[in-house]
Structure 1
Amino acid sequence: MIVNRSSRTLLMIVSLAMLAGCASGSRHDASHGVDEPYFARDMPGLPGGWDPMMSRVDNPILEARRLGNPPPALVRQALLAQHEDWVGTPYRLGGTSQHGVDCSALVQNVFAETFQLNLPRTTGEQVREGSPVARDELAPGDLVFFRPPGAYRHVGIFIGDGRFLHASSSRGVMISRLDNSYWRRYYWQARRALEPTNLAQRLLVDVDA
């Protein structure tokens, strides 16, 4: 009886790993030099954009709030702080931690840790969250989805200035440009789980706690 239960558990784990996967893309996203191998903090655009000095304060989100940043900039600052925590984490299909993570697990972790918002585990479920948003109306915190060749779909988090945070299968957690030739070709749709104002409010509640 114990053996059968163990076998069923192992089968379930393998099945979940397959369902949770993202677009493989390893033969594609690594071959386009337009993509950025690492975020260089050259992010103009939104008020209160990323400041390298923010890494030196005890709580960059609290500091951003003190500076009076509007909700989109505050959300963006929080996402960039998450990038600092996750950058360098390798891609692993079915992975959910900084030892290895896939695209949908990264999105799930970032939203849970930053905004206390529980998103589903897989891209197939996440693409049904919230409401659709046009590409030219993207705001920080929106989910961006891609449909490359193959069985898997890919998801990332828009951070502003035409860039998104994601777990690349070839480079791990990184920030890429939406106008990169590969990502532009396979862009699928975007969803807004919550408005930037609501995301910022959740962020501030966490800071005040």
Structure 2
Amino acid sequence: MKLHQAWKKRLAILSIGATLTFAGGIICNQVPTYAATSTTTKANKIISLGEKYLGTPYKFGAKVGQTKSFDCSSFTKYIYGKYGISLPRTAAQQSKAGSYVSKSNWKKGDLLFFKVPGRSASIGHVGIYLGNNKMLNTYGAGGVKITTINSYWKSKYVTARRVIK
């Protein structure tokens, strides 16, 4: 009889401990953090910062670090740098950073790379994928803008890279 009561007591203590642990997690609002959520949050912050520069003039060879004008790669280098992601200076160099992403797996914040007619390099332009076949980029008239990828850029697409971890 004493053995049976001892087991009942142990079981009760274990049940109370499990309940408190579970309830403590709920009460303290402890929700597991997943890498995808963190990546999405960082991408949204980068995009939000980039959108603050909508309309900023385009200038080929714009100096990195200043914000009165951008070329495509100084723009990406600047805004990703604000979130601790160091990118090389040119679009061609940036196209080798991070990891390759297929077209079917693009996510917000991925860098998209394109050919530019008249330039010797195979990669001459970079934009930031926003979702829904749109990108944030700067090129030519209008400066920093949101562009539909199915427009002019569709036939010029080369590759994509994921640099947000």
CA distance in 1: counterparts of 2:51 and 2:90, whole angstroms: 23
Using the size of structure 1 for normalisation, the TM-score is 0.55
Q: Identify the structure with bigger relative contact order (alpha carbons < 8 Å, sequence gap 6+).
A: 1
Q: Which residue of 2 aligns with 1:42?
A: none
CA distance in 1: counterparts of 2:90 and 2:41, whole angstroms: 26
Q: Which residue of 2 aligns with 1:184?
A: 154
| Aligned partners of 2:44 and 2:109 also within 8 Å | no
> Is residue 61 of structure 2 the alignment partner of residue 94 of structure 1?
yes
Query: Pairwise CA RMSD of aligned residues?
Result: 1.8
Q: Which residue of 1 aligns with 2:92?
A: 124
CA distance in 1: counterparts of 2:132 and 2:39, whole angstroms: 12
Which residue identity is paired with 2:156? Y
The aligned runs of 1:14-93 (5 Å cut-off) are 70-71=37-38, 73-93=40-60
* Alpha-carbon shift at residue 155 of structure 1 (Å): 0.4
* Alpha-carbon shift at residue 77 of structure 1 (Å): 2.6
CA distance in 2: counterparts of 1:192 and 1:77, whole angstroms: 14
> Is residue 81 of structure 2 the alignment partner of residue 107 of structure 1?
no
Which residue identity is paired with 1:176? T
| Aligned partners of 2:85 and 2:163 also within 8 Å | no
Q: What is the CA deviation profile of residues 52-105 of structure 1, one whole-angstrom value per residue up to 9, with x for unaligned ones?
A: xxxxxxxxxxxxxxxxx9345423431332133211110011113321110000
* Alpha-carbon shift at residue 108 of structure 1 (Å): 0.1
> Is residue 155 of structure 2 the alignment partner of residue 162 of structure 1?
no
| Aligned partners of 1:72 and 1:139 also within 8 Å | no
| Identity %, equivalent residues | 31
Flag the 1:165–1:137 CA change in 2: closer, same or farther, 3 A: same
CA distance in 2: counterparts of 1:111 and 1:84, whole angstroms: 13
Runs of at least 4 residues of structure 1 off by over 3 A?
Answer: 69-73
SS of the residue 1:139 aligns to: coil
Flag the 1:71–1:176 CA change in 2: closer, same or farther, 3 A: farther
CA distance in 1: counterparts of 2:69 and 2:98, whole angstroms: 27
Larger Rg: 2
Which residue identity is paired with 1:78? K
Flag the 1:174–1:187 CA change in 2: closer, same or farther, 3 A: same
CA distance in 2: counterparts of 1:75 and 1:158, whole angstroms: 13
Q: Which residue of 1 aligns with 2:105?
A: 137
Out of 122, 131, 149, the position equivalent to 2:117 is 149
